[in-house]
Amino acid sequence: MQRVEKYQGFSLIELMITVAIIGILAGVAYPAYTDFVTRSNRAEAQRELMRLANLQEQVFVDTRAYAADMTGLGFATATYTTETGHYDITVSAQTATTFILTARAKSSQATNDSACITITINDAGKQDGASSHCWEK
C-alpha cells in the first residue's frame, strides 16, 4: 500500500480566485477613494474662501472698503495657496464695496475635479462654480 502525502500550500485555482477578488475590490474601492480625496480638497478650498470672505468683511468694517488683493488682507503675496497646495486663491475688488474671491484648482486637483476647477464667493455671499454641484455638501 502506497502512502499519499498531503501537500501544504495553495493550489493555483485558490490563488487565482484570491487575485480576482482583490482585483474586484480594488476596482471598486480606488475610484471611491479618489472621489473622496477630490471632494475633501474642494471642501478645504470652500472653507478657505469662507474664512477669507469673513476676513474681507472685517477689513470692510475697519476701513469701509474691501481689500483689493491678498496683501490688503495681511498676506505676503497676492495669491494665497491652501494648506495642502491644491488651490490658489485670489481676490479681486470690483469697487471699494464689492469683491470676488476665486479659488482655482491646480495640479492633480485640476485633473481630478475638472468640473469645479474654479469656485468663487462674492461680497453678497453668492457661491458659484462651473458646475452646480461645486458647493454641494
Please give the model's pTM, rounded to 2 decimal places.
Answer: 0.80
pLDDT tens figures, 81-114: 999 999 999 998 778 899 999 999 999 998 888 8
- Round to whole Å and give the CA distance between 4 and 56: 82
Tell me the mean pLDDT in the region 16-34: 93
- Round to whole Å and give the CA distance between 45 and 37: 13
Residue 5 has phi, psi (to 5 degrees) of -90, 140
pLDDT tens figures, 54-75: 999 999 999 999 998 898 888 9
User: How many helices and strands (H and E) does the chain possess?
Assistant: 2, 5
Residue 90, SS3 per DSSP: strand
The domain locations on the chain are 12-129
Residue with C-alpha cell 476676513?
Answer: 55
Given CA atoms 76, 129, 122, 96 in this order, what sign does their dihedral have? positive
Do 51 and 87 meet the contact criterion of CB atoms below 8 Å apart?
A: no
Residues whose CB falls within 8 Å of the CB of residue 115, separated by 6 or more in sequence, listed in order? 130, 131, 133, 134
* Nearest partner of 49 among 137, 136, 135, 113, judged by Cα: 135
- Round to whole Å and give the CA distance between 77 and 126: 25
- Round to whole Å and give the CA distance between 25 and 32: 11
